[in-house]
Structure 1
Amino acid sequence: MRFLSRRLVMPNDLNYAYSLFGGRALQWIDEEAAIYAICQLESNCLVTKHIGEISFEAPAMQGDVVEFGLETKEVGRTSITVSCLVRNKVTKKTICFADDIVFVKVDPKSRKAVAHGKTKEMLVKQTIDEVKSLNLS
């Protein structure tokens, strides 16, 4: 799982118990997973089709930095399925896990599903090449 972005929990992100509101966490997950899928498929014409099981494990409090880990689970002809782990950046404690988030590539005019032309193997190679290009060694 690659941890690709972070957010700071602000006062307007809190629920009545002064912890991160679940709805805000879900909004962030959908956005972060969409950005990940867009980068993987190199297309911004994707729609969220399905979000499977969501498990809230621990609260995030105001001032916490949360990070989003994403990974590709499956690649279909028109779809990509990803998982997203939200955790506290400092403690590494899991805040929330969303599994089986499915995005489908659609034609911008007809809004019908269209093939994206990628395989899981292609995406693995693409990621390896991307990491190498960053020259992090």
Structure 2
Amino acid sequence: MRFHTRKWVKPGDLNANETLFGGRVLAWIDEEAALYSIIQLENKRIVTKYMSEINFMSTAVKGDIVEIGIEVVKFGKSSLTLNCEVRNKMTRETIVTVDNIIMVNLGEDGKPKPHGKTKIEFVKDRLAGED
């Protein structure tokens, strides 16, 4: 799994228990899944269709650094299925896992559109192919 993003837990990210608010973590996961999918599918019109069971395992407190990891599970015709792990860099514990996040590629009409991708591509490889 590749960890692309780090977040610093700030006072506005906390719940009444003074620990990281689960809703904030889910928003971070959704944004990271969208960004990852936009880059992979080379289309900014990406939406979240589905998130499977969300398993909260530990937490973070103010000042902790968390990182978000995304991994491709499957390329569909117009979708991309990902899994995600969020971990606390300070305690080295997993905060939450999501086994399946389905992101859908849309056309200009707002309807699902085939993306034609079958494997993970890295931007550096795309740029090398332009030479």
Q: TM-score, normalization: structure 2?
A: 0.91
Letter of the 2:16 counterpart: Y
Q: Helix, strand or coil for the counterpart of 1:74?
A: strand
Offset at 1:99? Answer: 1.7
Q: Distance in 2 between matches of 1:128 and 1:9?
A: 29
Identity of aligned residues (%): 48
Q: Which runs of 5+ in 2 are unaligned?
A: none
Letter of the 1:38 counterpart: I
Higher percent of residues as helix:
1
1:6-28 CA deviation, whole Å, 9 max, x = no partner? 00000000001000001111000
1:117 maps to 2:116: yes
RMSD: 1.5
1:73 maps to 2:68: no
Paired residue for 1:92? 92
Q: Distance in 2 between matches of 1:43 and 1:128?
A: 14
On the 8 A contact 2:59/2:88 being kept in 1, the answer is no
* Matched residues, number: 126
Paired residue for 2:29? 29
Offset at 1:92? Answer: 2.0
Offset at 1:129? Answer: 5.4
Moved over 3 A (4+): 127-130
Q: Helix, strand or coil for the counterpart of 1:92?
A: coil
Q: Distance in 2 between matches of 1:2 and 1:128?
A: 14
Return closer, same or farther for 1:23/1:85 CA change in 2, 3 Å cut-off. Answer: same
